[in-house]
Amino acid sequence: MIQGSDSGLRQHRRGNEPRPNPASTGRRLKRNVRVGGRRTTIVLEAYVWDSIDSMLDKETVSLDEFCAHVDHARRNSSMASSARLVVLAYFRLLDQINNPPFVDPDMQQRRRDGLLRAPQPSGPPLPLLQLAIRRFAQDEARAG
């Protein structure tokens, strides 16, 4: 398992070979964050960092804010493990919201016929990251 800088990836940039996707190489990457006024380094797989970046862009939250919330919620897990679990909870919740378990065929037909109209959005999107962190905190409390 390789840790550290992207020096191995830089070699590919110099040649004519395409740069490999870090997520497909199983590489672990480091990022520096500030949590509770202190600087720390978190080492995660490239694919997890990519998922975190996607989540934070969607939620308009900084990496430092995300790490502070995760650090506050965790009890027994390391920061890296906690971040992985929150990301997993986030994307599972997102999947559940986007793919409801029950679909009524009559409602689908009414929607297709234009007889059913969705109400206007009542406010900002659901703060899914907060729900994911809450779910993680509840799991941590049960395990502790």
Side-chain half-sphere CA neighbours of 79 within 13 A? 21
What distance in Å separates the CA atoms of residue 48 and residue 73, rounded to the nearest whole number?
19
Radius of gyration of the chain measured on its C-alpha atoms: 20
For the domain with range 7-143, which CATH number is right: 1.10.3470, 3.40.50, 1.10.3990, 1.10.10?
Answer: 1.10.3990
Beta strands in the chain (DSSP E): 28-35, 38-45
CB of 128 closer than 8 Å to CB of 90: yes
Instruction: Tell whether the model's pLDDT for residue 27 goes beyond 50.
Output: yes
d(CA 28, CA 2): 6
Report pLDDT for 21: 62
Q: What pTM value is reported for the model?
A: 0.66
- Within its chain, how far is the Cα of 83 from the centroid? 8
Torsion angles phi and psi, residue 20, rounded to 5: -70, 150
Domain residue limits, the chain:
7-143
How far apart (Å, rounded) are the C-alpha atoms in residues 140 and 12? 42
Contacts with 62 (C-beta within 8 Å, 6 or more apart), sequence order: 56
What is the pLDDT, as a whole number, of residue 112?
79
Looking at residue 109, what is its pLDDT? 77
pLDDT digits (tens, 9 = 90+) for 80-118: 999 999 999 999 998 888 776 666 777 777 777 877 666
Mean pLDDT (whole number) for 130-140: 89
Q: Coil, strand, or helix at residue 44? A: strand
The pLDDT value recorded for residue 9 is 40
Q: Distance (Å, rounded) from C-alpha 8 to C-alpha 5? A: 8
Closest CA to 83 of 35, 26, 23: 35
